[in-house]
Structure 1
Amino acid sequence: MEMNGTQRIEASREEVYAALNDVDVLRQCIPGCESIEKTSDTEMNAKVTLRVGPVKASFTGKVTLSDLDPPNGYTISGEGSGGMAGFAKGGAKVDLVPDGDATILNYAVSAEIGGKIAQLGSRLIDGTAKKLAGEFFTRFSEIVGPQPVAEEPVSEEASVKKGWVGRLRDSL
C-alpha cells in the first residue's frame, strides 16, 4: 500500500519537527496508541490497538527514525506484530516546508501487512489507513497549532429569554 499526503500545520517548522519527535504528542495523536516509549534518540517501542473491519488487534513493535535532517524532516520506519491477526511493517518519508508562519508537512507512506488482517481486502485496509492518517494529522494539528480563540459563552438564562428569533438576529 502506498499513500501520499500533505497537511498544513499552523506552527513553525522547528515546532512541528520537535512535536514529531515528542512521545507525549505522538501518544495523543496516534489512534489506538496504548503506549509509546523512547528507547534512544532514534528508536521507540509502541503498542497500538486497532480495529480493521471485524478484526481487532493489538500490535507491538519498534519504530526507527533515520535520515534525520532537523528541522526539514526524516524517514520513519516500523514493524509490528499483532499475534494471530498478522503483522504490519512500513515506513514514511516526512518533509517539512515552511509556509509563512505555518508548515507544510508532506508524507509518502509505504506499508505491507500480512496474516489474518491482510485477508480483509485492500479496499477496507486502504480506507482504514486513510482514516487513521486523517485522525492522526487532525489531532496533531490541534495539539501543535495554536488553539482557536473561544467566544465568550452566552448564559443559558440570556439565551432562553431571547428565544430563537433573538439569537438568530444577534448572530447576523
Structure 2
Amino acid sequence: MDMQASRELAVTQQQAWDALNDPAVLKTCIPGCDKVEAVGENQYAIGMALKIGPVSAKFSGKIALSDINPPASYKLSFDGQGGPAGFGKGSAEVRLLPNEDGCELSYTVHASVGGKVAQLGQRLIDGAAKSMAEDFFKRFDEEMQRQHPESYAAKMVKGEVETEPEAGARSQGVPMWVWIAGAAALALVVWLAS
C-alpha cells in the first residue's frame, strides 16, 4: 500500500518539528497509542490498539529514523506485530516545508501487511488507514492550537482557519525522535491499516 498526504499548519516549521519530537504529544495524537519509548539512538518502540473492520488487536512495533534533517525531513522504517491479527512493515518519508502562514506537513508511506488484517480487502484497509491518518492530524492540529493559540488567532483574523475539516481532506507526517514516534505512529497507523 502507498499513501501520500499533506496538511497546512498555522505553526512554524520549528514548532511543528519540536511537537513531533515530543513523545507526550505523539502519544496524545496517535489513535489507540499506549506506548512510545526510546530504545536506542533514533529507535523507538510503540504500542497501540487498533480495530479495522472485524479485526481488533494490540500491535507492538519498532521504528527507526534515518536521513534526519532537522527541522525539515526524515525517513522512517517500521516493523510491527499484532499476533494472529497480522503484521505490517514499511517505510515513510516525512517533510515539513515552511510557508507564509506556518508550514506544510507531508508524508509518503509505503507499507505491506499480512495475516488477518491483509484478508480484510484493500478497500477496507485503505479506508481505515486514511481515517486513522486524518484522526492523527486532526488531533495534532488541535494540540498545536492548544500549544500555540497566537499562531491560530492570527490565521483566524485572516479568515484562514478551518473550523471543520473538509470532506476528503488529507493529513500528513511527522519529524525527529518523537518524530519517530509520530512517524511511527503514522507509519503504524498506515502500516497497521495498510
TM-score (norm 1): 0.82
Residue 40 of structure 1 deviates from its aligned partner by: 3.2
Structure 1 counterpart SS, 2:84: helix
Residues 1:41 and 1:19: Cα distance change in structure 2 (over 3 Å):
farther
- CA offset digits 1:127-162 (Å, max 9, x no partner): 00000000001111111243467xxxxxxxxxxxxx
Structure 2 counterpart SS, 1:39: strand
Greater relative contact order: 1 or 2 (C-alpha under 8 angstroms, separation 6 or more)?
2
- CA offset digits 1:85-116 (Å, max 9, x no partner): 11011221011110124110111111110011
Partner of 1:11: 11
**Gapped runs of 5+ residues in structure 2?**
154-194
Partner of 1:54: 54
Q: Please identify, of 121-130 and 138-147, the stretch whose mean Cα deviation from structure 2 is larger.
A: 138-147
Q: Distance in 2 between matches of 1:31 and 1:60?
A: 14
Amino acid at match of 1:141: D
Structure 1 counterpart SS, 2:40: coil
Q: Distance in 1 between matches of 2:129 and 2:71?
A: 26
Q: Please identify, of 139-148 and 16-25, the stretch whose mean Cα deviation from structure 2 is larger.
A: 139-148
Structure 2 counterpart SS, 1:31: coil
Q: Distance in 1 between matches of 2:43 and 2:15?
A: 20
Root-mean-square deviation (CA, aligned residues, Å) is 1.3
Amino acid at match of 2:106: N
Partner of 2:117: 117
Amino acid at match of 1:110: H
Is the 8 Å Cα contact of residues 80 and 88 (structure 1) preserved in structure 2?
yes
Amino acid at match of 1:76: L
1:116-135 to structure 2, matched below 5 A, reads 116-135=116-135
Q: Distance in 2 between matches of 1:36 and 1:95?
A: 21
Amino acid at match of 1:109: V
Give the number of equivalent residue pairs: 149
Higher-Rg member (1/2) = 1
Amino acid at match of 2:27: R
Partner of 1:76: 76
Is the 8 Å Cα contact of residues 74 and 94 (structure 1) preserved in structure 2?
yes
Q: Distance in 1 between matches of 2:137 and 2:94?
A: 13
Partner of 2:102: 102
Residue 35 of structure 1 deviates from its aligned partner by: 1.1
TM-score (norm 2): 0.73
Q: Distance in 2 between matches of 1:123 and 1:101?
A: 35
Q: Distance in 1 between matches of 2:34 and 2:78?
A: 16
Q: Distance in 1 between matches of 2:110 and 2:125?
A: 13
Partner of 1:21: 21
Q: Distance in 1 between matches of 2:77 and 2:22?
A: 16
Partner of 1:89: 89
Residue 41 of structure 1 deviates from its aligned partner by: 4.1
